[in-house]
Homo-oligomer: A and B are copies of this chain.
Amino acid sequence: MTGTELLRWLLGHPLAKVVAVASSGGERSGVSIAELSPALAGRCDLICEAPDPERLAKRCDVVFLALPHTVSMSMVPRLLAAGTRVIDLSADYRLKDTALFQRWYGTLHLDPSHLKESVYGLPELYRERIRQAALVANPGCYPTSVLLGLAPLVRERLVAPGEPIMVDAKSGVTGAGRKVAVEYLFAEINENLRPYKVDGHQHTPEIEQELSVIAAKDGLGPLVFVPHLIPMNRGLLSTMYVRLRKPVDAEALAQLYHRQYAAEPFVRVKPVGKMPQTQESLGTNYCDIGVAVRKQPPMAIVVSAIDNLAKGAATQAIHNMNLMFGLAETAGLV
């Protein structure tokens, strides 16, 4: 699903040319994209290839990998060795700690050396390093929304040390890709609402890792992350409850966010009293953020919304590509 979304955006990118599409196991080799994704008929006449890293590298400046977790890392070394750059949309190069990777993804990391060099592809945090990167680990959808929502508070050292940060996240079902299982059937999702992987989602360590980087020596409390499945195709909204060191005025807090994101082309901060809704960023690379506060105890309630398949995956990958090749950051994205 992410792959199709990415392809759709790339086909409309004025400065990119899609020269090859390959399917992971090769089982779709020889099938046309138009047949696999009838929505792309008339827009793309490529035929799906077998995933031959060297053949791909020869023809491509950059290869996007939209593969299942743990499959990417067997392709990446050969792609990099063959001289192309890689944007990996899987989780394989996001966690810097291989022990953590093994615990959450249930398998040994096969490529620790490239893991070290890989750059976490959140442009708002790593813009300069992404420009130079050979390998970009495109963030997960939940981490994108949570990190953009919390970064200003952490950077300003406003978060009360040691206090747990509660993240109540809600996502449309495309976050789960096209997994064919009873629980993703229409009748099980529609007119239904449920939490899942309560306090045990694999995106938790990814968020914690990046918050720690921002916090530096500050002792951040643990993250309590509870995702929910919402009866909609796309859209993701995180509601974050953060204890602060001291009371902050709502207007001052909104100003702080405005300042920190003033130069960012894809983060929009709401005026006090307004909150994001997912529909406003649907089909875009925007992250919308709103804030509210409590005096006693000092708290911030931060809400951030993105399109999980766009900013949470495909368009963020293209943003990264734009940075890596010195293109306008917004090229192909508005």
A contacts, CB < 8 Å to B: 1, 11-12, 14, 38-39, 41-43, 164, 166, 168, 170, 172-174, 178-182, 184-196, 198-199, 221-222, 224, 226, 228, 230-235, 237, 239, 241, 265, 268, 274-284, 286, 288, 292, 294, 296-297, 299, 301, 303, 305, 334
**Identical chains bound together, number:** 4
List, in ascending order, chain B residues with CB within 8 A of A182's CB: 178, 180
Minimal beta-carbon separation of A272 from chain B (angstroms): 11
* Cα A195 to Cα B303 with chains together (Å): 8
Neighbour of A292 across the interface among B199, B275, B278, B334, CB < 8 A: B199
Minimal beta-carbon separation of A282 from chain B (angstroms): 7
List, in ascending order, chain B residues with CB within 8 A of A274's CB: 38
List, in ascending order, chain B residues with CB within 8 A of A195's CB: 237, 239, 275, 303
* Cα A187 to Cα B70 with chains together (Å): 25
Residue contact A301 to B180, C-beta cutoff 8 Å = no
Residue contact A233 to B186, C-beta cutoff 8 Å = yes
* Cα A188 to Cα B185 with chains together (Å): 9
Residue contact A196 to B275, C-beta cutoff 8 Å = yes
Given A186-B184, A239-B195, residue A164 in contact with residue B232 (CB < 8 A): no
List, in ascending order, chain B residues with CB within 8 A of A279's CB: 39, 188, 191-193
